[in-house]
Amino acid sequence: MAYIALYRQWRPKTFADLVGQEHVSKTLSQAIVSGRIGHAYLFAGPRGTGKTSTAKILAKALNCDEGPTPTPCGTCENCRRITDGTSMDVFEIDAASNRGIDEIRGLRETVKFAPAEGHYKVYIIDEVHMLTAEAFNALLKTLEEPPAHVVFILATTEPHKVPATIQSRCQRYDFRRITVSEIEGRLRTICDAMKVEAADSALELIALQADGGLRDALSILDQCISLADGPVTAALVQEMLGLVGHSWIYRMTESLASHDAQSVLSIVAELLAGGKDLKQMMAELALHLRSLMIYQAAGTVEGLDLYAEPEDVLKKQSAFFPTETIMAMLAHLHKCVDTLRWSPQPRITVEVTLLLLCRGITAPAEDQAPESVPRSGETAGEAQRLARLEAQIASLGARLAARPAGAPAAPAKSAAPAQAAGHPAPAAAPATRAASAPPTAPSTPAAPQASVPLPPTPQPQASAEDAATWQKVIDTFRGQHKQSTLACITQGTLQGFRGAQCFLAFPTETLAQLTMRIYRAQVEAVLADIFGHPMQLVCTAAETAPAPPPAPKKKERPPLPPLPHADKPIEVDMSQLPPDEQKNLQNAINILGDNFIEPPEEQPKEPQEAPPED
């Protein structure tokens, strides 16, 4: 006799055998007992959660010799034929290969005939979302008002692709993902019944890899039993599935925490030499970091379906990173896994990502500040360059606003005192030097102008202690080489620290808004590190724009010269004109008046002399 796969041998035969779908089995059982059997059902849910099995159980419950009953016997002729797939009254249709309108028309023709053996004709349409729009339209009327002896059961993994007109004609049952503990319990029952030795850690690992599908778990167990010479162990499951394993992941995590780049690259080389998949490596590292993150947040891993790790390891390694760092590392790993799909050199992609994590650059971009978040259609580098340009523009605007009206532009060397005082030169200085360079084209020599320096920046209205604290903020950004941030915040004047707020005054509203929009998060983070509690940045504008120049006086237009012959009105007989001209003339009179005068005589033009011939 041919071997039958485990998922077929152990397919549920009654509603009580369903795992993890009690809400479905209970509702269908009560509907059968009460006689409220629907004419169409829609079973939706992930793969391997029991949709087709439930459809066959429902078909047996309706056509059993003792039925309709919620507990079919499984031994009568109808139950055995439905189990074997040879029943004349139960039709299993694969919509993926029978998706056209012709197949649905054939179904409509057979629906009208009475059942041959049982009480009902049951049509099970699997993957119903694969039907074409024309096929769905052909099924609508039959699905809404089928004969009394027909029951439709539609199964799908993508219910959003089923038209609403179809869903509204069905009773919908959503099958949920089966938990790790439920899958593990079912695997233990099967192993005990088959007298197969399997370690609990192996069954737990299989349940985790099944990702909520019992059919996938049974397929993995079937492979492990075939491969094992003795008991099924966790090492055997890891070898068969190509898993990296806990020991490698723990070593990788320790190397990342200690910033040991050489050890990280060595682990990658060893795993590749052992035939491990890079994508699987990144996925398992992400699962481990997820376990650390959840352990930090919840303090326990019970009932959370984590990566099957001992709690003592989670407690030790969760102290390596703060929660924010783990979240940023997960973002990097997810981006790496997504990039591996199309990367021509996957190993380089993995090594770059791990070295970034090893160096402590855990943010998805240069830092987590809003300035580093690219806009739609921009790269991270373009976003940073745009932020620097905005800071330069704001700096120039502040200088122009502070310069007295009518004063000439200051030379570039006027920024030297600011550098001597310990402040960084604003990012706009190169642009100022370029603008002050003499033109190369010859021009009319202008009178030499005296260099007018910019007015000094007003002194901070804060205490010496507040000024020293603000200098720490400046030094922090200088140490982080964030020149764009420095170029902006150094334009402001510290007003002081009051409570949990830091007050900065800027010469223009533009600079104040730019700081609040782009650099606020960075400054508040540094202030929180210095003060030990959250601080709020408040930016105000002390903009004193010069008064606008007075509007130029309007020149009075000289009076128009009198028209010639204006004192000699003439008489016009309108009755002598054609009707159209009378109408036009009357309109002109209504607008201009009836003072008719003679037009001026045109002076004859003098003939121009022809140019002499050469």
Average pLDDT over residues 9-38: 91
- Give pLDDT tens digits for 352-364: 999 999 887 644 4
Q: Give the least confident one: 386-390, 406-410, 484-488.
A: 406-410
Dmax over Cα atoms in the chain, in whole Å?
132
Per domain, the residue ranges of the chain are 6-174, 180-241, 246-358, 365-397+459-544
- With a cut of 50, say whether residue 381 has pLDDT above it: yes
Q: Give the least confident one: 59-63, 375-379, 490-494.
A: 375-379
- pLDDT of 377: 45
474: its two tokens: 């400046």
CB of 597 within 8 A of CB of 568?
yes
- With a cut of 80, say whether residue 562 has pLDDT above it: no
- Give pLDDT tens digits for 185-223: 999 999 999 888 888 888 988 988 888 889 999 999 999
Contacts of 83 (CB under 8 A, 6+ apart): 13, 56, 60, 74
- pLDDT of 434: 38
Confidence of residue 30 (pLDDT cuts 50, 70, 90): very high
Please report where in the chains the tokens 């001992």 appear, as a residue. 310
Domain 180-241 sits in CATH at 1.10.8.60
- Give pLDDT tens digits for 448-477: 443 344 444 444 457 888 888 888 888 888
CB of 571 within 8 A of CB of 596?
yes
Instruction: Supply the DSSP string of 572-601, one letter for each residue.
Output: --GGGS-HHHHHHHHHHHHHH-S--BPPPP
Average pLDDT over residues 165-173: 93
Q: What is the CATH class of 365-397+459-544?
A: alpha beta
CB of 501 within 8 A of CB of 467?
no
- Give pLDDT tens digits for 268-302: 999 898 888 888 889 889 988 988 888 888 777 66
User: Of 1.20.272.10, 3.90.1150.10, 1.10.287.110, 1.10.3720.10, which CATH number belongs to 246-358?
Assistant: 1.20.272.10
Q: In this prediction, what percent of the chain has a pLDDT beyond 90?
A: 24
The per-residue pLDDT of the chain, averaged, comes to 78
CA atoms within 13 A on the CB side of 197: 5
- Give pLDDT tens digits for 209-219: 888 889 999 99
Question: Which of 292, 284, 193, 279 lies closest to 238 in space, CA to CA?
Answer: 284
Q: Report the chain's C-alpha Rg in angstroms.
A: 42
- With a cut of 60, say whether residue 523 has pLDDT above it: yes
CA atoms within 13 A on the CB side of 435: 12
Confidence of residue 564 (pLDDT cuts 50, 70, 90): low
CB of 291 within 8 A of CB of 307?
yes
Angle separating helix axes 180-194 and 200-210, nearest 10 degrees: 130
- pLDDT of 186: 92
Most confident of the ranges 18-27, 97-106, 242-251: 18-27
CB of 523 within 8 A of CB of 429?
no
- pLDDT of 162: 93
3-state secondary structure of 339: helix
The whole-angstrom separation of Cα 539 and Cα 516 is 7
Question: Which of 279, 290, 207, 219 lies closest to 243 in space, CA to CA?
Answer: 279
Please report where in the chains the tokens 């007075």 appear, as a residue. 550
- pLDDT of 442: 41
Q: Give the least confident one: 307-321, 401-415, 472-486.
A: 401-415
Q: What is the CATH class of 6-174?
A: alpha beta
Contacts of 30 (CB under 8 A, 6+ apart): 70
Alpha helices in 121-213 (DSSP H): 133-144, 164-167, 180-194, 200-210
Please report where in the chains the tokens 């002194």 appear, as a residue. 459
- pLDDT of 448: 40
- pLDDT of 54: 94
Q: Amino acid identity of 309?
A: E
The whole-angstrom separation of Cα 110 and Cα 257 is 68
- With a cut of 60, say whether residue 429 has pLDDT above it: no
- Give pLDDT tens digits for 578-608: 887 878 888 887 777 776 666 666 555 555 5
- pLDDT of 268: 92
Average pLDDT over residues 14-30: 91
- With a cut of 70, say whether residue 544 has pLDDT above it: no
